[in-house]
C-alpha cells in the first residue's frame, strides 16, 4: 500500500509539469543554422587574427585622436607610442561595443614615484570603464587600483606584473552594457582580463562608470563608443593594439 501511494505521488508530481518540459531531453539540441566564419589566427596569440582591426601597428596613430578631435600628440618611435605628458588622453576614431582587445604596454624602466604616481595610465573601454595600467612590481597601492584592476571596483585575482620597462600585455573580453528606451540599464557590462597570459578578472560585472572620487553608476550611452588611453602624466608606452568586434 505504501509503495502504491509512493508511486501515485511520483505520478502526480510528474503530471504537474508541462509535457514540453518532460520531453526536453528526448530530442537532441537543434544544430545551429549559421556556419561559423573562418578566421585565420595570427602566428602567435599576440598577433592579430584575420578579422581584427589593427589600432596601432607601431608606425602611426592614424586610428587615434585627442579627446578634442585634434591629431593624437603622443610620441611614436621604435615601434611604440609613448604618453606625452600634458597632451591629454587619446581615443580611437572608430567605435566599439562587445569586443576582444589585445594591448601591450610598458612602464618606465627607471621607476619614479610611489603608488599611483608610478607608471600610471589606463585602458578605458567605451571611454568609461577603466582597466588600470600601473607599475605594480614591488609597488604598494590600494588593491582595486593596481595593474589589472577594474578601477575602484575589483582588485585583480593576482599580481602578474613584470619588472619596470618590460613589455606586458592585456587580453580583454568585454561585453557592453545594455539600456532600455528610458535609459535604464538592463544588463551591466562584463569583463574578463588576462594579464601576461594570467587570468586576473573572471567575467566580472562592472557596476558603472569607474570614477575615482564617487560611487560607480551607469549613465545611458550609445551601444558603441571609442576606446580611450589615459595620459596620467607618466611616460607609459603602448604597442601592438588590435581589436575584434564580437
Quick: pLDDT tens for 84-120: 999 999 999 999 999 999 999 999 999 999 999 999 9
Mean pLDDT over 141-161 rounds to 98
Q: Is residue 24 one of the residues assigned to a domain? A: no
**Closest-CA residue to 127 (of 220, 10, 226):** 226
The per-residue pLDDT of the chain, averaged, comes to 92
Q: What pLDDT does residue 2 have?
A: 43
Three-point CA angle 227, 228, 229, nearest 5°: 130
Mean pLDDT across the stretch 157-186?
98
Phi, psi of 193 (to 5 degrees): -135, 135
CATH number at residue 221: 2.60.120.560
Q: Which pLDDT value is given to residue 16?
A: 56
pLDDT at 49 over 60: yes
pLDDT surpasses 70 at 7: no
Q: Are 90 and 64 in contact (CB under 8 A)?
A: yes
Q: Has residue 72 been placed in a domain? A: yes
Do residues 121 and 230 touch, judged by C-beta distance below 8 A? yes
Tally the domains of the chain. 1
SS3 181: coil
In a domain? residue 3: no
Higher pLDDT, 5 or 182: 182
Residue 155 lies in a domain: yes
Within a domain: 4:
no
Above 70 in pLDDT, residue 18?
Answer: no
Of residues 13 and 172, the one with the higher pLDDT is 172
How is residue 9 written as a grid cell?
505521488
Question: Could you give the C-alpha distances from 135 to 84, 111, 179, 188, in angstroms and in order?
Answer: 17, 8, 35, 29
Contacts 24+ apart (CB under 8 A), 72-79: 74/231, 79/239
Strand partners, 239: 104
Contact 107, 118 (CB under 8 A): yes
Parent domain of 221: 33-245
Q: Is residue 12 part of a domain?
A: no
pTM recorded for the entire structure: 0.89
Amino acid at each position: 500500500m505504501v509503495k502504491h501511494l509512493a508511486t501515485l505521488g511520483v505520478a502526480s508530481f510528474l503530471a504537474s509539469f508541462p509535457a514540453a518540459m518532460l520531453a526536453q531531453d528526448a530530442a537532441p539540441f537543434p544544430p545551429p543554422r549559421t556556419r561559423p566564419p573562418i578566421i585565420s589566427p595570427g602566428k602567435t596569440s599576440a598577433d592579430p587574427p584575420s578579422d581584427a582591426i589593427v589600432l596601432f601597428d607601431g608606425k602611426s596613430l592614424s586610428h587615434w585622436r585627442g579627446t578634442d578631435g585634434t591629431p593624437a600628440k603622443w610620441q611614436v618611435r621604435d615601434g611604440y607610442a609613448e604618453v606625452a605628458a600634458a597632451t591629454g588622453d587619446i581615443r580611437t576614431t572608430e567605435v566599439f561595443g562587445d569586443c576582444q582587445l589585445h594591448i601591450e604596454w610598458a612602464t618606465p624602466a627607471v621607476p619614479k614615484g610611489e603608488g599611483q604616481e608610478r607608471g600610471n595610465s589606463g585602458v578605458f573601454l567605451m571611454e568609461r570603464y577603466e582597466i588600470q595600467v600601473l607599475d605594480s612590481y614591488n609597488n604598494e597601492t590600494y588593491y582595486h587600483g593596481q595593474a589589472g584592476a577594474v578601477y575602484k571596483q575589483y582588485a585583480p585575482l593576482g599580481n602578474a606584473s613584470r619588472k619596470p620597462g618590460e613589455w606586458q600585455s592585456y587580453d580583454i573580453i568585454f561585453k557592453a552594457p545594455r539600456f532600455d528606451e528610458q535609459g535604464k540599464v538592463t544588463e551591466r557590462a562584463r569583463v574578463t582580463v588576462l594579464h601576461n597570459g594570467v587570468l586576473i578578472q573572471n567575467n566580472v560585472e562592472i557596476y558603472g562608470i569607474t570614477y575615482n572620487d564617487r560611487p560607480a553608476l551607469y549613465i545611458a550611452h550609445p551601444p558603441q563608443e571609442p576606446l580611450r588611453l589615459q595620459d596620467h602624466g607618466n611616460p607609459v608606452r603602448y604597442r601592438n593594439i588590435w581589436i575584434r568586434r564580437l
